[in-house]
Amino acid sequence: MKTFHEAVNRSLVVVAISLTCTAALAHSAHAQSTPTIFQTTLQESGQATPEISTEELQQILANGSEPVLDVRSALEYAIAHIPGSINIPELEVAKIMELYSAGTPMILTCNGPFCGKSKRTSEQLVANQYVNVRRYQLGMPVWRALGNTVQTDLAGFAYIVRGDHTAVFVDARTPQEFQSKTMHCAVNIQAGEATAANDDGRLPKWDKGTRVVIFANNAGDAKKVAAEIAKKAYWNSSYFGGSFAGLRRAHLLQSESERNCPGPQ
């Protein structure tokens, strides 16, 4: 026959197990209900249109389910934009209404949390009976900070070459092609070499905010290397959306440039 103390001890064990299980379930539920940084938004009140998270934007771009409209200026877009986005500047709302019906789901984005362009554009669209407009208000800065790469177009590449003498250009072609002909001051980095390039100085580890632009024989090859470099905390990196041949035709290789190559002095 069980003693009184045995019964009490057994009851205490059962209570302890129950409390442990309850605490574990509560912790699990809390963990599941708390969004990650990829799942969160600004959650601003009083806005005409809802926001989407970085994770949602990634899914939309992967599926091609909705147009993502970058409402910054044409030059800003050319310098760097989220791959797959379409540039229609804020002042061209009429063009959006010409291209898309009032019921079309769409995403607007611009230059981050403090950029008013996407807010103002969404308000104008709502005033014209557009009912499926959402915003990626976190915009370019947060997209990049979370390790996502961005695309640079030819006009943006030219702007960087002519105006940013601290930029680092990465030639992602083969070493043989690199040795044959490349840009003045370019460094050669292949897919899978981002860690080594960060360690050996090919990438500007002395200043992670340095603009880094990757080019190759095609945009796909450049994007692959750019995605790896972005994950090494080079938040100001991008890839050229054209080809090396296109840069050559546009006379952007700077073969005779006299400027010093960027690096620590």
| pLDDT tens sequence for the chain (265 residues) | 445 455 545 544 443 445 444 554 444 545 567 899 999 999 999 999 999 999 999 999 999 999 999 999 999 999 999 999 999 999 999 999 999 999 999 999 999 999 999 999 999 999 999 999 999 999 999 999 999 999 999 999 999 999 999 999 999 999 999 999 999 999 999 999 999 999 999 999 999 999 999 999 999 999 999 999 999 999 999 999 999 999 999 999 875 455 688 877 5
- Give the integer Cα–Cα distance in Å for 89 and 95: 9
- Give the integer Cα–Cα distance in Å for 175 and 25: 55
- Statement to judge: residues 138 and 160 lie in one domain: no
- Statement to judge: residues 65 and 126 lie in one domain: yes
- Statement to judge: residues 80 and 122 lie in one domain: yes
Do 254 and 162 meet the contact criterion of CB atoms below 8 Å apart?
no
- Give the integer Cα–Cα distance in Å for 255 and 265: 23
- Statement to judge: residues 116 and 187 lie in one domain: no
| Burial of 241 from C-beta contacts in 10 A (0-12 / 13-18 / 19+) | buried
- Statement to judge: residues 104 and 179 lie in one domain: no
- Statement to judge: residues 161 and 222 lie in one domain: yes
- Give the integer Cα–Cα distance in Å for 51 and 57: 10
Q: Please report whether residue 10 resides in a domain.
A: no
Among 61, 67, 66, 42, which residue's Cα sits nearest to residue 53?
Answer: 42
| Structural domain that includes position 241 | 152-249
- Give the integer Cα–Cα distance in Å for 226 and 170: 9
- Give the integer Cα–Cα distance in Å for 234 and 225: 12
- Predicted model pTM: 0.86
Q: How many domains does the chain have?
A: 2
Residue 250 vs residues 7, 24, 46, 158, 188: alpha-carbon distances, Å? 87, 62, 47, 9, 21
Among 37, 12, 31, 262, which residue's Cα sits nearest to residue 143?
Answer: 37
Q: Please report whether residue 30 resides in a domain.
A: no
Q: Please report whether residue 79 resides in a domain.
A: yes
Q: Please report whether residue 92 resides in a domain.
A: yes
Q: What is the DSSP letter of 261?
A: P
Q: Please report whether residue 44 resides in a domain.
A: no
- Statement to judge: residues 128 and 174 lie in one domain: no
